């Protein structure tokens, strides 16, 4: 199961991916049966409340699920090649040069006893294939620092302790772009920042996307950031993907999953002023003790008896808008299984 269909427009394909932590009765599926695809050049958001499996899914895209986690079903393909079955050497080649990641809490990712410049030199030495001359690598990094609105000379000779949180996040983004990857994955890029720095990072990511054409996948719990940055969005709930579609469709009333509806209604910044915020009652279930049937049913205003008996399949319409809900999918004509989408 390595190279099936290769659509040049599709950069990343995730098929029925399940990632479990632990074995036996105590094991949890942090990601279950997730299917999605990311097209070259788009900005794709993975959204959900804390503990929904977003970071685990992001790690599995890079083949770096932390132990005791492991992929138990499905696969991830990058440009048609399975990263799930790829050997370590090939995966290492792919990481950095083709796909890079800015981890959650990237501000703590730097070595405190080396200048940023020294750390960049080490990366360039480890990847001599990207630039003919290391000087070109340094020049490119300084160009990237300009794009993330930081002073190149000063940053090159700084230690991380001399930079603010917002600056470190922007340096981490520049480092992630250093080897000219075609895909960058960012885990919660705005979460630890104050409002002004959040705005700046959103603006910078939009600019980088426009000027470098890089494909971006980012993980967030903040739908307001999704509305401003992403072109497509996948919403996760308790390890499962419940709805995915274009940001325009989801935010302009085309959404169909009651959880997505509730999430949007619970966020003041994406509502018109004057509309009342409605918090979602209840909480995300413990993955080790999931309810029978649809895992959102205990909190769902539309739940019917059937929803408590079986898990709804992810069904798609002609525009690749996928939804896993028995009730709202009932009206869908010509629906097809998400796993075949
Ligand atoms: N290292 C681990 N060991 C055991 N279980 C884990 C581990 N990492 C994640 N999990 C399980 O996977 C679930 C999903 O975690 P994950 O970090 O992917 O969620 P998330 O949506 O990214 O949440 P957050 O926004 O809080 O990071 C957790 O609730 C936990 O049950």
* Shared domain check, 142 and 235: no
174-219 tens-digit pLDDT: 999 999 999 999 999 888 888 888 999 999 999 999 999 999 999 9
**Cα angle 206, 157, 121; round to 5:** 75
* Shared domain check, 207 and 269: yes
* Shared domain check, 208 and 174: no
Give, for ligand 1, the residue of 52, 66, 68, 186 to mutate: max count of ligand atoms closer than 8 Å to Cβ: 52
**Band of the pLDDT at 333, cuts 50, 70, 90?**
low
Give the Cα separation of 84 and 92 in Å (integer).
13
Q: Which of 194, 188, 143 is nearest to 167 (CA)?
A: 194
pLDDT of residue 163: 94
Residue at a domain's end among 156, 180, 204: 180
**Band of the pLDDT at 309, cuts 50, 70, 90?**
very high
Where do the H-state alpha helices sit in 67-190? Answer: 88-97, 116-126, 134-147, 152-156, 165-177
CA 57 to ligand 1 centroid distance, Å: 10
* Shared domain check, 158 and 186: no
Establish whether residue 189 lines the binding site of ligand 1, counting it when its CB lies within 6 angstroms of any ligand atom: no
CA 284 to ligand 1 centroid distance, Å: 12
Q: How many domains does the chain have?
A: 2
Is ipTM beyond 0.90?
A: yes
> Tokens 């104050």 label which residue?
194
- What global pTM score does this model have? 0.90
* Shared domain check, 272 and 194: yes
* Shared domain check, 159 and 120: yes
Does a structural domain hold residue 33?
A: yes
* Shared domain check, 229 and 127: no
Q: Which of 267, 310, 273, 237 is nearest to 53 (CA)?
A: 237
Could you tell me the two tokens for 256? Answer: 């169909």
Give the Cα separation of 40 and 47 in Å (integer).
20
CA 68 to ligand 1 centroid distance, Å: 12
Share of the chain above pLDDT 70, in %: 92
Does a structural domain hold residue 1?
A: no
Establish whether residue 285 lines the binding site of ligand 1, counting it when its CB lies within 6 angstroms of any ligand atom: no
* Shared domain check, 67 and 193: yes
* Shared domain check, 244 and 129: no
pLDDT of residue 88: 87
Give the domain range for residue 236.
Answer: 10-98+181-284
Does a structural domain hold residue 103?
A: no
For the segment 5-22, the average pLDDT, to the nearest whole number, is: 84
pLDDT of residue 316: 87
**β partners of residue 270:** none
* Shared domain check, 187 and 85: yes
* Shared domain check, 69 and 193: yes
Contact 211, 228 (CB under 8 A): no
């Amino acid at each position: 199961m390595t190279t099936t269909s290769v659509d040049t427009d599709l950069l990343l394909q995730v098929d029925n991916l399940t990632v479990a932590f632990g074995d036996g009765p105590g094991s949890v599926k942090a990601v279950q049966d997730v299917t999605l695809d990311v097209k070259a050049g788009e900005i794709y958001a993975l959204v959900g409340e804390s503990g929904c499996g977003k970071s685990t899914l992001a790690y599995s895209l890079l083949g770096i699920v932390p132990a005791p986690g492991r992929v138990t079903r499905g696969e991830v393909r990058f440009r048609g090649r399975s990263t799930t079955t790829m050997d370590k050497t090939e995966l290492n080649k792919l990481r950095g040069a083709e796909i890079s990641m800015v981890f959650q809490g990237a501000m703590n990712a730097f070595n405190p006893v080396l200048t940023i410049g020294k750390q960049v030199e080490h990366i360039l030495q480890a990847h001599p294939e990207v630039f003919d001359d290391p000087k070109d690598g340094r020049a490119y990094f300084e160009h990237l620092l300009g794009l993330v609105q930081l002073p190149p000379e000063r940053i090159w000779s700084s230690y991380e302790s001399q930079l603010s949180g917002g600056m470190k996040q922007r340096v981490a983004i520049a480092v992630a772009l250093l080897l000219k990857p075609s895909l960058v994955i960012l885990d919660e890029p705005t979460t630890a920042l104050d409002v002004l720095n959040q705005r700046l990072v959103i603006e910078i990511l939009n600019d980088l996307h426009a000027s470098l054409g890089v494909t971006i996948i980012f993980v967030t719990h903040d739908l307001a950031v999704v509305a401003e940055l992403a072109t497509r969005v996948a919403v996760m709930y308790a390890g499962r993907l419940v709805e995915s579609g274009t940001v325009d469709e989801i935010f302009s009333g085309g959404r169909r999953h009651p959880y997505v509806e509730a999430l949007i209604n619970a966020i003041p910044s994406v509502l018109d002023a004057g509309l009342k915020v409605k918090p979602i009652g209840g909480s995300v279930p413990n993955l080790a003790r999931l309810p029978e049937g649809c895992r959102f049913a205990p909190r769902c205003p539309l739940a019917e008896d059937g929803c408590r008996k079986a898990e709804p399949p992810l069904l798609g319409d002609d525009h690749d808008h996928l939804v896993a809900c028995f009730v709202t999918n009932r009206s869908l004509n010509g629906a097809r299984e998400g796993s075949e989408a």
